Structure 1
Amino acid sequence: MTMTAPHPTGHPGYSETLPRRPESVATARRLVRTALAAWGLEELADDGALVVSELVTNAVQHARSEVIRLVVSRPGPATVRIGVVDKSKAPPRHRPPGSEDDSGRGLVLLAALTAAWGTDRLPWGKRVWGELRGKDSR
């Protein structure tokens, strides 16, 4: 895990490069929980774990590189942004899942759990992110 320089809130961000494998989902959940605990935002831990699980799972299934990058930052006092960077330039696509499908609900879950989410295009790929807001940000 890497700590980055402090953001305008005075809090460092956390990031880690992970192999693009299903096992990385558990590592990503631990990193998010660690960051939230360090910031005193444990109230966001369950939603944060679900959000990062969906983001990493999507990258594992669709990215084009051997690794992905998880970034957890704190753009506001009670706001946390969880992002996953990969080398695929294809934006995430919402497709309605069938009743028998085991997957396809990740973006619906992301939209339901986050205050905002989006995709940033990068020269080498993209960052898909979701923002969680704690009680003090409302």
Structure 2
Amino acid sequence: MTAVMDVVGRLTVAPTPAAVRAARNDIRTIAEKSAGDTGLLGDIELAACEAITNAYLHGTAPIDVTVLHTGQALRVEVRDHGPRNRPDGKEDGGRGMDLIRALTARWGAETSPGETLVWFEVAVS
């Protein structure tokens, strides 16, 4: 059975360090409004920042972020465009995907020609 996901926020992030920082704050605000203070807001914020930074470093603009709520989980999707390295943290010494793996209940990466989607879910009630 597929869970129903309600979109609770969308962002388009410019490929600049300042925009990545601003997006981190925006995602925390969206998560807090939709999931409350679960004690996991810092994990959500950090995992989102890692996924956005990965898109900034290895992808091509625009970087689109969608935050969804399933009732049991908050899901963050980060989509970028263009060619990139593998989104599994094994290229160039970065460990962002390892951090996402450690902070979240589930995560994944999907690639198609010209696009990469990295997503993660954090359990909330």
Establish whether TM, by shorter chain, passes 0.5. yes
Match 1:16 to one of 11, 22, 37: 11
Aligned to 1:104: 94
Query: TM-score scaled by structure 1?
Result: 0.75
Show CA shifts across 1:21-52 (max 9, x none): 11122222122112222224322210011001
Bigger shift: residues 115-124 or 47-56: 115-124
1:77 is the counterpart of 2:71? yes
Aligned to 2:37: 42
Query: Could you say if the C-alpha distance between residues 131 and 89 of structure 1 is closer, same or farther in structure 2, counting changes exceeding 3 Å?
Result: farther
Aligned to 2:22: 27
* Structure 2 counterpart of 1:83, one-letter code: E
Q: CA deviation at 1:8?
A: 3.0
Task: Between the two structures, name the one with larger relative contact order (CA 8 Å, sep ≥ 6).
Answer: 2
Q: CA deviation at 1:107?
A: 1.2
Q: Structure 1 unaligned runs (5+)?
A: 1-6, 98-102
Partner-residue secondary structure (3-state), 1:13:
strand
How far apart, in 1, do the equivalents of 2:16 and 2:91 lie?
Answer: 25
Q: Structure 2 unaligned runs (5+)?
A: none
Query: TM-score scaled by structure 2?
Result: 0.82
Partner-residue secondary structure (3-state), 1:127:
strand
Larger of the two Rg values belongs to structure: 1
Q: Percent identity over the alignment?
A: 29
**Contact kept? 1:85, 1:128, Cα under 8 Å:** yes
How far apart, in 2, do the equivalents of 1:28 and 1:55 lie?
Answer: 11
Aligned to 1:54: 50
Superposed CA RMSD:
2.3
Aligned to 1:131: 121
Q: Stretches of 4+ moved more than 2 A in 1?
A: 88-91, 93-97, 120-124
Q: What is the count of residue pairs matched by the alignment?
A: 121
How far apart, in 2, do the equivalents of 1:93 and 1:82 lie?
Answer: 16
Aligned to 1:120: 110
